[in-house]
Amino acid sequence: MNFDTRLAEQQHKARKRFGQNFLIDNSIIDNIVASVRAKPDDTVVEIGPGKGAITEGLVKTGARMHVVELDRDLHPILLAKFASDNFTLHAFDALKFDFSQLINSETEQLRVVGNLPYNISTPLIFHLLSFHPRIKDMHFMLQREVVQRLASEPGTKSYGRLSVMAQYFCQVQSLFDVPPTSFDPPPKVQSAIVRLVPHKVLPCEAINYKLLDRLVVAAFSQRRKTLRNTLRDWVTAEQFEALGIDPSARAETLSVKQFVEMANYLTKAGFDL
């Protein structure tokens, strides 16, 4: 029995539980593929390929393609369209997927692409950042608000934990916006494309990354309060002075470097989590 790909695509409806909004705007699709600039010797991982709108352009580059798709009803569609020695489908939840298993050599790096479901975008980005030494770059479609948070600078309202931790690991570049009309069904929010390029060498490295992460969480836990209040169980007045940080300032005024310096100071001082 022949599998009717077009009919299967038409019959498959976006599912809320998977946060599905399928990209249908060809100009946006072409812009995303052009932004990635995949090459035949690249290993590309696409998260949530859906019906393969972006996948098609990436496959044409000749890159080794891995796609991670949780919705099993989409698997026959993807395999019918792209099955080849250069295409591998992983039926898995990207939040739990071990991306390092896709790397075959010590020098190989992954190029990650995805139209990420809005409801899991932030935890998924943190999951991927744990593999940062083996990732060359990441191109994501996200809610525009999330892209703004990723790229925000200190002193802005959208600057927060996601900004600090993403910029600790990566250079962040907001590329272009994507309107709701580019999707089926149209989401209720604006979207945008972001490029994350992991630093080959971290500009400022935390001695204890876990401590840095928890420090940043605590600092931004109550945005309107000063560091003196949010970090009262972490940093003493004398330590703020030694660090050259004003305790009456708020978390969004500190740079990534200042957070790392604070975390390293506490680590050396024997701070116990």
Q: What CA–CA distances, in Å, run from 15 to 11, 24, 52, 167, 266?
A: 12, 16, 16, 32, 46
Q: Which amino acid is at 160?
A: G
Q: Which amino acid is at 250?
A: R
270: left (phi over 0), alpha (psi -120 to 50) or beta: left
User: Cα(146)–Cα(163) distance, rounded to whole angstroms?
Assistant: 9
**215 DSSP 8-state letter:** H
Report if pTM > 0.85: yes
pLDDT of residue 2: 54
pLDDT digits (tens, 9 = 90+) for 173-226: 999 999 999 998 888 899 999 999 999 999 999 999 999 999 999 999 998 999
Mean pLDDT split into 10-residue runs, the chain, 273 residues: 51 50 92 97 95 95 96 92 95 95 90 90 94 96 96 96 97 97 90 97 96 97 95 96 97 98 97 85
pLDDT of residue 5: 57
In order, the DSSP letters of 125-168 are HHHHHTTGGGEEEEEEEEEHHHHHHHHPPTTSTT-SHHHHHHHH
Q: Which of 239, 235, 242 has its CA nearest to residue 219?
A: 235
For the chain, domain boundaries: 5-198, 209-268
pLDDT of residue 13: 52
Give me the CATH code for the 5-198 domain, please.
3.40.50.150
pLDDT of residue 4: 57
Coil vs helix vs strand at 90: strand
CATH 1.10.8.100 for domain 209-268, yes or no, is yes
Q: What CA–CA distances, in Å, run from 227 to 159, 248, 253?
A: 15, 6, 10
* Helices 144-151 and 121-129, packing angle to 10 deg: 40
User: Cα(129)–Cα(126) distance, rounded to whole angstroms?
Assistant: 5
pLDDT of residue 118: 81
